[in-house]
Structure 1
Amino acid sequence: MKYLNAAEVLPEHLLMEIQKHIKGKVLYIPTGDERIAWGEKNGSKSYFEDRNKEIKQQYQDGYSLEQISHNYGLAYDTVRKIIYKK
């Protein structure tokens, strides 16, 4: 991240107003864009949601935790957490 001198990029009245609150410190100004939640951009979130629904359905259909664990290549405890998560 490149630092900018506020005196070079901000109007004088705005710079003076900011200096009333912060003098000589580094200030981060966020972009203002709305943040995208984890996995929404690349589809990971929906993939894991769908997978977890399938796992819960298989458990309801009578598959054992061991069978599901083997089918998905997941640890037994991971499958158990997925099934019992509300």
Structure 2
Amino acid sequence: MSYIKAENVLPQELIETIQQYVDGKLIYIPCKEKQEWGTTTSAKVFFRERNEEIYENYIGGIGIHELAHRFSLSEKSIQRILRNQRLALSKGAPSV
């Protein structure tokens, strides 16, 4: 996230009002509409494909310990991914 100077985008009277509450501090102003996670990057696709690959490898006989090593994840993370993949498949929904 990049920062912009308030003086460049806000009227002086608004800046003075904000300074009454948070003088000299950084504040976050959220977007009007919340975007779903992963919509602005390819992260969602990457993790979906990775998780599908982990599940397919597990079904193919590779153990949790080996999967954790291959994908540089903890065994607990592999277990969570497998559980979520199973749930998604049972519901017929795509998983992430």
Structure whose CA Rg is larger: 1
Instruction: Give every structure 1 segment of 4 or more consecutive aligned residues whose post-TM-superposition deviation is greater than 3 Å.
Output: 1-4
Partner of 2:48: 49
The CA deviation at 1:36 is 2.8
Distance 1:36 1:43 in 2: 14
1:81 aligns with 2:80: yes
* Matched-pair identity in %: 24
Instruction: Map 1:32-47 to 2 at 5 A.
Output: 35-47=34-46
Q: Which runs of 5+ in 2 are unaligned?
A: 1-5, 16-30, 88-96
The CA deviation at 1:40 is 1.7
Classify the secondary structure of the residue corresponding to 2:40.
coil
Deviations 1:11-68 (CA, angstroms, capped at 9, x unpaired)? xxxxxxxxxxxxxxxxxxx74xx54311121111111011000000000000000010
State TM-score, norm by structure 2: 0.54
Bigger RCO (CA 8 Å, 6+ sep):
2
Partner of 2:60: 61
RMSD between aligned residues:
2.1
Distance 1:57 1:49 in 2: 12
Distance 1:44 1:54 in 2: 15
